[in-house]
Structure 1
Amino acid sequence: MTPDDQALDRLRRAARDLGRDLALGRSDALARVRATAPKPKGTPLKHADFLHVIAREEGFASWPALKASVEMRGMDAAARLQRLKIAIAHGQTHVIDRILEDAPDLADGEFGLELALYRRDAVARALEADPGMATRLIGLAPPLVHLCQSRMIHHWPDKRNDMLAIAEMLRLRGADLDFGPPAEKGSAHRLSPLYFALGHAGNLVLAEWLLDHGATPNDNESLYHATELGHRDGLRLLLSHGADPKGTNALLRAMDFGDVEAVAMLLEAGADPNEGSDGRPAHGMAHGACPALHQAARRMGDDRMAELLLAAGARPEATWNGISAYAYARVYGNAALAARLEGLGVDRSLAADEALLAAAAEGAVPGGRFLDPARLPEDFRTLPRQILNQPGRLPHLKALIAVGLEWDRPDSEGLTLVRVAGWEGLPEIMAWVLSLKPDLGHVNQYGGTLLTTIIHGSENCPQRAERDHVACARLALEEGVALPRKAISFAGEPAMAAFLDGWAEAHPGAVVEHGPI
């Protein structure tokens, strides 16, 4: 038996052991399966499901992908190559540097990686030998997307010309500048190369090249995600190329960050502040989109934001799902907006549940009064999840829980309050939620555990620079959450990786060999 056969045999045995442990009712086995192979309740699991779990824990999308890679390259090379792919996908530049320093030829002949690493000469040779590679899918995505989703331009700005030369090679050989992979499995909506360049990679150079060469700015993704970049250059770029904000939710997303200037830019470009209000067409806007004044109430928009929206024609009396912007302002604790609306003569009446939620926002909850959460609209039922990332909200959160709102109910994405606090990197909030004894074994719909959600937040939360995800990870581990060994090396944020490595050394008994990453 070759070493590779032995490696695959070891992985198959691990899958059989997992199935045995699950049959014996071991909680760690159940957690691993729930995290990587979720199935409807009551559906029997097969050996193939356990193989899938093992493959995911090794960093591969499926068992066939793991098996094929091992058979082609050997176990060690396959694992290292897969780690490189994940590092590139997540922009983990220090991991990429380390892997390529140890194995500089690892990506040779891997066309998708050569694109992402801006290897101009290698791409040119591959396309000269086979021009069809310019349009042939690599996995689910065309080659141009592999180039666009790379974040290496921030690490290697000197390779700008190589990156653009590769884009031009692909274009000249037929690459579609608007064609990308499905947004999710089975979806008809596709994510464009422009979305990956701008919204995913923050690569304004490549985004401008795409737009200058005819890519459509109206892909129903890019404008929305341009509001998340921490600057307005991407927004200006798209609007200057004719992006239409109607139906994109970009206006509401800019308000998530309190970005008055971005809101002004979008309104000037034609965003409708009343879009989504009751009785008004939403122009294809995503489910859950509300009028702008309601959003201002939810996101604690200040006087400047309110005046901007009102000047653009926002209707103070507009309702959303039968609820007024005034009621939203009172329920969310936006006293300034509530006062502004009162001054405009809006109806100030509140339903009984709204009045109790407003009292909680003001810190004046009457004793002995409670809500039935099932009676509330979803936006009010998930109020704790929505406000916890706003400064100074802990007293408000405590008041909401005191009147009966749920603190451990998963939202539409399977996220519970403690996971949202961890992803946001808010240790004070997370410590309070942990004191309520939430379900630490819950897995969200993406397969994320509490620890992996915190790790993901350390790399992707828009406010991560000012938050403390390491402190949140420490809280989770101190509560007894297990640390999968592979999670240490798969953590892409250097401070988080260093902390997990140190924790593992100091607490070897908390480290498990298997688990989601």
Structure 2
Amino acid sequence: MSDSSLPARPDLDQLRRRAKELRDAVRRGDSAALARFATHHSTAEPDTVSLAAAQFVIAREMGFPSWPALKAAVDADAGARRRELAFLSASIEARAGRAAEILLTEPGIAECSVRAAAVLGDVGAVREALTQNPAVAVEVDDERGWPPLLYACYSHWHRLDPERGAGLVEVVRLLLAARASANTNDGGRPRLYSALRGAVESVKPEVTGLLLDAGAHPDLGQPVVEAISHGDHKSLGLLLSHGARITGTWALGAAVFHDDAVAMRLLLDTLTARGQDAAGAAGEQLVEAAATASLPLIDALLDAGADPRAAGEDGTSAVRSAVRAGHSETAARLTSRGAIDDATQVDRFLGACLRAESESARRLLAEHPGLPGRLTERDRAAIHQAAADRDTAALSLMLELGFGHDARDESGEAPLHTAAYQGNAQGVRLLLAVGAEVDARDTRFEATPLAFATVGSGEQDGEPGDWIATVRLLLEAGACRRDVWVTGKPPSREVAQLLKGYGIGPEQDGGGHHGDEEPGTAPSAVTDAPAPLGDDVLSEIARHIEAACRHTDLDLLASLLHPQVHWTGLCRSSAQVLDWYRLALADGTAPTIESLEVDRGAVILGLTLTRPNEGARPAPPHRLYQVFTVDGAQIVEIRGYPDRRSALTRDY
């Protein structure tokens, strides 16, 4: 018998309830129920009809010979749906191995649904589905609330099987022609799922071009930053040519972070072509770049007009930044362009250590016996840079010269956290050998090095690093096995399998902290309701912040900001802060105030943020706590926190 009469989402419990209702109706003498029995089970006695007999009738009405056959079909349908969902998840999450395994065992999976066909780039199956019912182009599924377009845009099948790349492009073309919106998105904040962002994240520049030509907004979700993050220069060029913003975004910072000189030149050339201050923008990036980036990117900044004598907020020059990071070629390039070499002996000592130049470092120590005593906590935290380097020569030298294996950086991480996150197994082995605490917790996430390793394996999957060896080393050193499978930040597939071999999984581990309280948090910090505002200056500032947010009054907000207000990780001036808010409002972000309180010289604003969706199920509101630190009746710092507890403790 065929199971073609099964409903789209068969529910066995619901079918059982229908059978009970049918049995009871027959016993009451209901004529319609009796007629159904007469058709499918004429030998049953109405007065004593059993549940099994009613189930038999339900099964026969649906085209099955028996209730067990119906149940088997329902179970098979549920199993097929689970396999399809697993396949879709693996296909859009770049877990190519798992996706290939499922396709190998289910070669006809594209026939399950138009979304499965779309994620595979199966042009024939998608075209046939659209011919039969054009509305499927915009139908969203029950699980993610996605239409087929998002599955095609986020698909990574072109990487596993390059021949599918052309199919994915054609599928997108078909869906757009069937009236799927090029701006399809779920409105999520801070994580937006949109067709354009999916195309950029999965590096499909042909799809990026199709969407932009069809009217996709080039700024929604800042796909420019995603293009830089994924090294997709073709998509970056397309986005910029369609007017994507640079000013007020993290685009230049992303190019520095990823050491992408090609992207940097594209960005700066675009600023110049638009008549904007490319030289000033380049200068703002120079000090950070001198410490982290390669010479080609430094040249891109200098060629755009960056002042080689640029200094950071703390007065540290670009030359000093380069010297203390061990970038001697960068320092030489800056001085050749007119910068003054103002590096201190401490800077030169740190640079020699990070270059693993043992002779130079020891000579400086011999010439300046008091030098170790002049090292600040920030200086000593330079060992983290060495801990991230898989060549452990610098790390070994710094440990030998007295740098502590427990030196904390600005996020409260120990060097073992840094090495573990980077999958630097040799660095982990070295740090454990000199006594690094295997279960040390950072002050931002309250997480152990093992948790950093599992998260790093997932977030950097495919990047250089040996997370398998790193995790083994930590576990064999007795690392705590709790809170290492972090919710929302799963390990790579290989590390997940390794953890399960040790009996560690999301179920056993608990997936991180849950509930209102976390370790080290006083219950009152979570449960106390915000105190009412008073009549002091801080309370008055709080009321003005609330009014500015409620009415999106940027002029009012501007009146409260210090000119050099610092928004951690985002902005360094009031102009940048205001530009960030303008960009958020242009994205359609709508803030709703949930709470307002003052605490220790700061205003804490509890918000939910929403953004309009298009063509997909809307994402839930994003909860955020903004802490505005006030000094002299002006806001001098802004920080964002995910919950009230961390906002009150300033711990994130």
Structure 1 length normalisation: TM-score? 0.63
Structure 1 residues 175 and 310, CA, compared in 2 at 3 Å: closer, same or farther?
same
- SS across alignment from 1:274: helix
Partner of 2:298: 306
Q: Deviations over 1:203-252 (max 9, x none)?
A: 23322322333334444633323234456444444445554544443344
Report matched runs for 1:475-514 at 5 Å.
475-481=473-479, 500=498, 504=501, 514=508
Partner of 2:168: 163
Partner of 2:199: 197
Structure 1 residues 422 and 347, CA, compared in 2 at 3 Å: closer, same or farther?
same
Partner of 1:206: 207
Q: Which amino acid aligns with 2:460?
A: C
Count of aligned pairs between the two proteins: 412
Structure 1 residues 260 and 120, CA, compared in 2 at 3 Å: closer, same or farther?
closer
Contact 1:274 1:318 in 2 (8 A): no
Partner of 1:430: 428
Report matched runs for 1:255-404 at 5 Å.
255-270=256-271, 272-275=278-281, 291-302=284-295, 304-323=296-315, 324-343=317-336, 346=339, 356=346, 358-362=348-352, 363=361, 364=364, 366=370, 368-369=372-373, 373=377, 383-385=382-384, 388-390=387-389, 392=391, 394-395=393-394, 399=398, 402=402
1:314 CA drift (Å): 0.1
Which of 419, 422, 447 lines up with 1:421 in the alignment? 419
Partners of 1:481 and 1:78 lie apart in 2 by 38
Report matched runs for 1:9-408 at 5 Å.
80-104=83-107, 109=112, 112-120=115-123, 122-124=125-127, 128-129=132-133, 131=135, 134=138, 136=140, 139=144, 141-182=146-187, 184=189, 187=190, 190-198=192-200, 200-219=201-220, 221-230=222-231, 232-270=233-271, 272-275=278-281, 291-302=284-295, 304-323=296-315, 324-343=317-336, 346=339, 356=346, 358-362=348-352, 363=361, 364=364, 366=370, 368-369=372-373, 373=377, 383-385=382-384, 388-390=387-389, 392=391, 394-395=393-394, 399=398, 402=402, 407=407
1:151 CA drift (Å): 0.3
Contact 1:422 1:450 in 2 (8 A): yes
Rg (Cα) greater in structure: 2
Structure 1 residues 444 and 164, CA, compared in 2 at 3 Å: closer, same or farther?
farther
Partner of 2:471: 473
Higher RCO by CA contacts (8 Å cutoff, separation 6 or greater): 1
1:87 CA drift (Å): 1.6
Partners of 2:188 and 2:410 lie apart in 1 by 23
Q: Which amino acid aligns with 2:176?
A: R
Q: Deviations over 1:125-158 (max 9, x none)?
A: 6555471761647635554222211101222333
1:409 CA drift (Å): 5.9
Q: Which amino acid aligns with 1:315?
A: D
Q: Which amino acid aligns with 2:203?
A: G
Partners of 1:444 and 1:93 lie apart in 2 by 35
After alignment, is 87-96 or 332-341 more displaced?
332-341
Partners of 1:85 and 1:446 lie apart in 2 by 31
After alignment, is 87-96 or 419-428 more displaced?
419-428
Partners of 2:447 and 2:136 lie apart in 1 by 38
Structure 1 residues 98 and 305, CA, compared in 2 at 3 Å: closer, same or farther?
closer
Q: Percent identity?
A: 22
Per residue, is there more strand in 1 or in 2? 2
Partner of 1:40: none
1:448 CA drift (Å): 8.3
Q: CA RMSD in A?
A: 4.7
Contact 1:425 1:457 in 2 (8 A): yes
Structure 1 residues 87 and 123, CA, compared in 2 at 3 Å: closer, same or farther?
same
Partner of 1:8: none
Structure 1 residues 449 and 98, CA, compared in 2 at 3 Å: closer, same or farther?
farther
Partners of 1:137 and 1:74 lie apart in 2 by 16
Partners of 2:510 and 2:341 lie apart in 1 by 50
Partners of 1:449 and 1:103 lie apart in 2 by 40
Structure 1 residues 307 and 104, CA, compared in 2 at 3 Å: closer, same or farther?
closer
Q: Which residues of structure 1 form unaligned runs of 5+?
A: 6-70, 278-290
Contact 2:481 2:504 in 1 (8 A): yes
Partners of 1:320 and 1:423 lie apart in 2 by 28
Q: Which residues of structure 2 form unaligned runs of 5+?
A: 1-11, 14-73, 273-277, 353-360, 512-652
Q: Deviations over 1:472-498 (max 9, x none)?
A: 2332333244789x99xx97666x688
Structure 2 length normalisation: TM-score? 0.51
Q: Deviations over 1:69-89 (max 9, x none)?
A: xx9989866764554343223
Structure 1 residues 442 and 144, CA, compared in 2 at 3 Å: closer, same or farther?
farther
Structure 1 residues 106 and 372, CA, compared in 2 at 3 Å: closer, same or farther?
same
